[in-house]
Structure 1
Amino acid sequence: MLKPSFKIAYLSSENPKNKKVWSGTHYSIYKELCKIGDVEILGPFQPKFQIWLSKILNQLSLIFTGKRISYRQSIYISKGYAAYFNEQLNAKTYDLIVAPAASCEIAFIETKTPILYITDGTFASCLNYHKSLSRLRQKSIEEGNQIEKLALQKAKFVIVSSEWAKKSVLEDYGSIEDKVHVLPFGANLETIPTQLEIKFDIPDKWKILFVAVYWEDKGGDRAYACFKELKDKGYPVEFSVLGCKVPEKYNDPDIKIIPFIDKNSKGGQEKMAEIFKTHHFLILPTRFDCTPIVINEASAFGLPSFIARTGGIEGHLKDGVNGFTISYTDTGSEYAENIEQFINHPEKYVQLRTKSRKLYEEELNWDHWRKQIEKIISS
Structure 2
Amino acid sequence: MVVRIGFLTPWRTDDPGAWSGIIRPMLGALTEVADVVPVSTHDVPAAPLDRAAARLSRRKYLWDFGLATARARGRAAAERLRAAQVDVVFAAAASVDVARLGGSVPVVQYVDAAFDDLRDRYSVFTGLSRLSAVQMRRIGTLAARRTAGYVAASQWAADGLVRAGADPARVVVAPPGAAITPRAGMDRGAAEAPLRALVVASDWERKGGDRALAAVAEARAAGADIVLTVIGSAPSLPDDVRAPGRLGADALSAEYARADVLLELARANAAGVTLTDAAAHGLPAIATDVGGVASIVAEGRSGWLVPDDAASSAAAARLAALGGGAWGGVSRATAAAWYAEGLDWARWGERVAALCLRVREEAAR
After TM superposition, the score normalised by the length of structure 1 is 0.87
SS at match of 1:39: strand
- TM-aligned CA deviation for residue 56 of structure 1: 4.2
Q: Which amino acid aligns with 1:283?
A: L
Aligned to 1:215: 204
Aligned to 1:134: 126
- Stretch of structure 1 that moved more, 286-295 or 39-48: 39-48
- TM-aligned CA deviation for residue 149 of structure 1: 2.1
Aligned to 1:86: 78
- Quick one: distance in 1 between partners of 2:80 and 2:223? 62
Aligned to 1:324: 304
Aligned to 2:238: 251
- Quick one: distance in 1 between partners of 2:204 and 2:344? 27
Aligned to 1:229: 218
Q: Which amino acid aligns with 2:318?
A: N
Task: Spell out the pairing of 1:332-371 with structure 2 (5 A cutoff).
Answer: 332-346=312-326, 348=328, 351-371=330-350
SS at match of 1:14: coil
Q: Which runs of 5+ in 1 are unaligned?
A: none
Matched, 1:36 2:22: no
Q: Is the 8 A contact 1:152 1:158 kept in 2?
A: no
- Quick one: distance in 1 between partners of 2:230 and 2:337? 26
Distance 1:143 1:49, change over 3 A: closer
- TM-aligned CA deviation for residue 97 of structure 1: 1.2
SS at match of 1:42: strand
2:246 to 260, 268, 278: 260
SS at match of 1:27: helix
Matched, 1:109 2:104: no
After TM superposition, the score normalised by the length of structure 2 is 0.90
Q: Is the 8 A contact 2:152 2:173 kept in 1?
A: yes
- TM-aligned CA deviation for residue 257 of structure 1: 1.0
- TM-aligned CA deviation for residue 376 of structure 1: 2.6
Q: Is the 8 A contact 1:20 1:262 kept in 2?
A: no
Runs of 4+ aligned residues of structure 1 deviating over 4 Å after TM superposition are 197-201
Which whole-Å deviations, capped at 9, do the CAs of 1:250-287 have from their partners, x for residues lacking one?
A: 3222x111232233xxxx3xx23221111011001112
Distance 1:347 1:285, change over 3 A: closer
- Quick one: distance in 1 between partners of 2:84 and 2:13? 20
SS at match of 1:351: coil
- Quick one: distance in 2 between partners of 1:321 and 1:207? 19
Q: Which runs of 5+ in 2 are unaligned?
A: 359-365
SS at match of 2:191: coil
Q: Is the 8 A contact 2:49 2:68 kept in 1?
A: no
Q: Is the 8 A contact 1:202 1:346 kept in 2?
A: no
- TM-aligned CA deviation for residue 375 of structure 1: 2.8
SS at match of 2:308: coil
Matched, 1:61 2:57: yes
Task: Spell out the pairing of 1:151-230 with structure 2 (5 A cutoff).
Answer: 151-172=143-164, 174-191=165-182, 201-230=190-219
Which whole-Å deviations, capped at 9, do the CAs of 1:202-233 have from their partners, x for residues lacking one?
A: 31221100001132231111111112222233
- Quick one: distance in 2 between partners of 1:214 and 1:128? 14
Aligned to 2:353: 374
- TM-aligned CA deviation for residue 198 of structure 1: 8.4
Q: Which amino acid aligns with 2:113?
A: G
1:300 to 280, 302, 316: 280
1:77 to 44, 66, 69: 69
Identity of aligned residues (%): 21
- Stretch of structure 1 that moved more, 33-42 or 18-27: 33-42
- TM-aligned CA deviation for residue 354 of structure 1: 3.1
Q: Which amino acid aligns with 2:6?
A: A
Distance 1:130 1:300, change over 3 A: same
Q: Which amino acid aligns with 1:180?
A: V
Q: Is the 8 A contact 2:224 2:324 kept in 1?
A: no
- TM-aligned CA deviation for residue 364 of structure 1: 1.1
2:231 to 238, 242, 266: 242
Aligned to 2:363: none
Q: Is the 8 A contact 2:74 2:100 kept in 1?
A: yes
- Stretch of structure 1 that moved more, 93-102 or 313-322: 313-322
Which whole-Å deviations, capped at 9, do the CAs of 1:141-196 have from their partners, x for residues lacking one?
A: 23212211222221222000112111221112x111211111111111243569xx
Aligned to 1:291: 271
- Quick one: distance in 2 between partners of 1:90 and 1:44? 14
